Amino acid sequence: MCGIVGYVGPGSAIGMLLGGLKRQEYRGYDSAGIAVIDDAGELETRKRAGKLGVLLGDLDGDSMPDGHTGIGHTRWATHGGPSDANAHPHLGDGGRLALIHNGIIENFAELKQEVLDAGGVFTSETDSEVAALLVGSLYRETGNLTDAMRRVVTRLEGAFTLLVMHQDEPGVVVGARRNSPLVVGVGDGENFLGSDVAAFVEHTRHALEIGQDQIVTIRPGSVEVIDFSGAPVTPHAFEVAWDASAAEKGGWPSFMKKEISEEPEAVAKTLIGRIHDGAVTLPELEPLAEVLDDIDRVVVIGCGTAAYAGMLGKYAIETWARVPVDVELSHEFRYRDPVLSPRTLVVSVSQSGETMDTLMAVKYAREHGARTLAICNTQGSTIPRESDAVLYTHAGPEVAVASTKAFVAQATALYLLGLYLAQRRGTLDGAQIAAQLAELQDLPDKLDQVVDAASARIAELAHWMGDTQSVLFLGRHVGYPIALEGALKLKELAYIHAEGFAAGELKHGPIALIEPGQIVFVIVPSPRDPSSLHPKVVSNIQEIRARGARVIAIAEIGDVAVVPYADEVIRIPFAAPLFEPLLAVVPLHIFGMELAMAKGLDVDQPRNLAKSVTVE
């Protein structure tokens, strides 16, 4: 949440800032603002509550002097509601300095009192304005923006990325980060700062990681990084693996529709270069090689969709590698004093790599002796840097707030991990591993079939269900996480009551919810598996149908046993049991999107949600 961008160079600062903010809209926000140092050397600001379009309309009606140095911000309200006054940038040093902030300053109250006692005047309700006034005050003493920033950030507690500029230093933007994202874009005679690479990928794919408790100063021809003590730092450079066109709709009506269509490609790209001659090759795990054979437990941590991908990973890892796996919600993990040891592998799952709850859980795990592996989609993000090793999913940018292609890519990475552990530990022989990998490699083509076959019919179903107020989802074994994921998508996108249940729990309470007309999606396992739960799930369908439920079954091609009892059957191709859920989830992603569209809702930016939750 919150998007930031900074620019220095020969181009239009306003154009660069607005473009960078537009490409970061998916992060979620409720106000927007920019500040530039114009060609006359004056600092100019404009900020408005509401979407970026409100700010753009304001600028169209009353133009703002342009320049070549600027910072821009989209704010998700925390301290103080969404309003023009609370929008960023905030000013210091008598309006000569502008500052933007992502995160929360936990000790702002005592710092604010200090500023008030010194005669300072506040114009907003935010914690961020404290930092602006403090940096402005110290700049008057030092005359050096980087040093003033350094002296302030050492006093701040909490999570923050700060960007600041001063009209006495045109061509300079200073940034600082602690527990909040910041990357540098390195251009030709121009440089950028951003919450993520989307802020500048249209202009450069050369990037630098800014680490924990580091300060960066950008000028048109230079980038200098120091730590909070003032010691020089050499930042890690990387190339952004996608270009700006990957983060554009490309003719699709929404980013979500585009990203659902990219689910097959997300799986394929996550597999590229990691399977050779029927074996798994993961050189990224070399930092963990010496401990992987000795681990006695895996803990997968994530939030929301990432946690459900982790649940699929649990089934796969336990089945193939015979290692016990726990799946924990990141925000609960470190608060219950979990039992960890050097033989525990903690696997974090995060699309953005900046999810604050997950980041804090990773740090907790390392501090308590566990080894850590990140599964992440975003280069240069914090969680991979805080982990012992990282498996990138290579799904490309996911702009819609509700994850779709990230889910299937995360599950694919966890499956690769499970087979890699089985390979190392000898719990599967070479032929068994090769067979599972062949199934995995077949998934992109099968996913293509599902997207093509299911889209039109599910759109029809969603539109006649436009006034639906409650939908239930049932699944067993690997179908259970899919039921949870389907319910989450419906809550996120269509704003209606939706619940996912393990089908075996039905008689233990949830069946009381069934009444005539109640819509229930059922993820039906394959009848071809001799140990399948298929007969039990069909029995569940009969039970709820007898009580008036309207049943929509997700079942494989050729499953005739469900036909007499389901009102609608959405077909998926044959797959081995552990791989069926990646096919079954696609119709549920489509349904959530289509029902939201039928209700006239914004599927890319659902209310109250942000793509990357960077505060606890």
- Residues carrying an active site annotation: 2, 611
C-alpha 49/C-alpha 242 separation (Å) is: 32
d(CA 371, CA 363): 10
Q: For residue 47, which of 143, 126, 161 has the smallest C-alpha distance?
A: 126
Question: Counting Cβ atoms within 10 Å, is residue 337 exposed (0-12), middle (13-18) or buried (19+)?
Answer: exposed
Q: Which ranges of 66-127 does DSSP label H, i.e. alpha helix? A: 108-117
How crowded is the C-beta side of 249, counted as CA atoms within 13 Å? 11
User: Which H or E run contains 47?
Assistant: strand 43-49
**Residue 373's beta-bridge partner residues?**
347, 389
CA distance 39 to 37: 7
Helix (H) or strand (E) segment spanning residue 581: helix 580-598
- Per-residue three-class SS string for 240-308: CCCCHHHHCCCCCCCHHHHHHHCHHHHHHHHHCCCEECCEECCHHHHHHHHHHCCCCEEEEEECCHHHH
Per-residue CA distances from 73 to 32, 128, 294 (Å): 6, 12, 47
Burial track 276-287 (b if 16+ CB lie within 10 A, e otherwise): eeeebebeebee
